[in-house]
Amino acid sequence: MRFLYITDTHFRGNSPQNRMDDFPQTLRKKMEEVVQVAQDLQVEAVLHGGDLFEIPNPAVNVVGDVVRFLKALGKPFYIVPGNHDLFGQNPQTLNRTMLGLLGQVGLLKILEPGEKVFFKKDGISLQLTGQGYHFDLDTERGREGYLVKNKEADLAIHIVHGMLLDRPFFQTVAYTLIDDIKETEADLTLTGHAHLGFNEIVVNNKKFINPGALVRTTVLPAEVNRWPQMVLIEAGKDGITTKFLPLKTALPGEQVLNIEKATEMKLREERLARIISEVRSSGDFRSLKLENILREIAQKEQLPEEVREEALKRIAQAEIEMAREEVDDVP
């Protein structure tokens, strides 16, 4: 039984600042390749690790690109929502997003937390589960989102849109280490969110893999040198094996990313780092992200949970309102 896994496609209607190509056109070609490979290899389904779209309410033509891809694919497509797919990075806004809409009309299947989808073939049963992004996913209270318990099939695959890393990262970003979730019963854990990805890691006979984003949007050297890829998953009597399939339609990083801008970016990043360190020394905050600041204030002031939840809800609501105003601004 085979599956194809891709993640972080970030569909959008224009080219990111650092790209020199026609980004939407490049992505269309990549998705044609995904369709071709999925059909040639006769996979049961295509799996997506989240951040299907760059923003929760993309324009109609951008949604059209995704619908055309799904129709051409003609196979089940399972996904977990990424932070970019949601308003205010809040899962409760899903039914107001374009990803939510595609799920509601049945063009794709959004994996709900705790929901199990079963596949059976050649005497093997496999369960598929997923966990979309939420604020606490990469904190201790969110850890269970990474963990599969009570496996009800021979094999289990779990998809998570979270910052799963094999080694510690700098402190401004919340992350989870593979070591923290090695008790999972999933034979294979697939992640996205961290665009650089990592090779397959095996701990306790369990596999963890992140192929990296299907698109490159920053000019970090590691990103310029990275080749977009999919993961071919084979599940059989001997367990699960994975294999990276580099995209044939992708071009070398130097041809699509504006590297000259990299130097300029580096200077800007250094300036930003200085500002952040100044803010930190005065306010004692580890991050400039609104949601993270909120979490730290809540912790420091020991605010009741309802207050924090309400604040998160209002941030999401404000983003929805802002998005509406942007649309109304268009003549």
Q: What is Dmax (Cα atoms) for the chain?
A: 62
**In the complex, least distance from residue 110 CB atom to Mn ion, rounded to whole angstroms:** 17
Integer Cα distance of 276 and 285 in angstroms: 9
Minimal CA–CA distance to 232: which of 44, 99, 83?
Answer: 44
* Rounded distance between C-alpha atoms, residue 133 and residue 91, angstroms: 7
- Closer to Mn ion by Cβ: residue 4 or 215: 215
Distance CA 161, CA 176 (A): 11
Give whichever of 89 and 242 is closer to Mn ion, judged by the CB atom: 89
Tell me if 166 sits within 8 A of 198, measured CB to CB.
yes
Closest CB to Mn ion among residues 227, 285: 227
Nearer to Mn ion by Cβ, of 195 and 286: the residue is 195
Angle between helix 60-73 and 23-40 (nearest 10): 20
The minimum distance between CB 138 and Mn ion, in angstroms, equals 14
Q: Which amino acid is residue 275, in one-letter code? A: I
**What are the CA-CA distances from residue 145 to residues 25, 140, 142, 186 (Å)?**
35, 10, 6, 12
Torsion, CA 137, CA 163, CA 22, CA 327, rounded to 10: 20
- Closest contact distance (angstroms) between CB of 46 and Mn ion is 17
Smallest distance from Mn ion to CB 49, Å? 9
Q: Specify the residue, 172 or 317, whose C-beta has the smaller distance to Mn ion.
A: 172
- Decide: 178 and 68 in contact? Cβ < 8 Å: no
Nearest-approach distance from CB 80 to Mn ion, in angstroms: 12
CB closer to Mn ion, 8 vs 44: 8
- Which of 218/287 has CB closer to Mn ion? 218
Beta bridge partners of 207: 188, 202
Q: Nearest residue by C-beta to Mn ion?
A: 51
The count of residues in the chain is 331
Considering the complex, state which of residue 8 and residue 65 has its C-beta at the smaller distance from Mn ion. 8
Name the site residues for Mn ion (rule: CB under 5 A).
8, 51
Strands, sheet with 2-6, edge to edge from the N-terminal-most edge strand: 109-110, 77-79, 45-48, 2-6, 229-236, 239-246
DSSP states along 133-159:
--TTTTSGGGGGGG---S--SSEEEEE
CB-nearer residue toward Mn ion: 51 or 65: 51
Residue 84 CB, nearest distance to Mn ion (Å)? 6
Q: Shortest gap between Cβ of 194 and Mn ion (angstroms)?
A: 8
Give the separation between CA 88 and CA 73, rounded to whole angstroms. Answer: 31
d(CA 11, CA 14): 9
Q: How far is the CB of 304 from Mn ion (least distance, A)?
A: 32
CB 6, min distance to Mn ion, A: 12
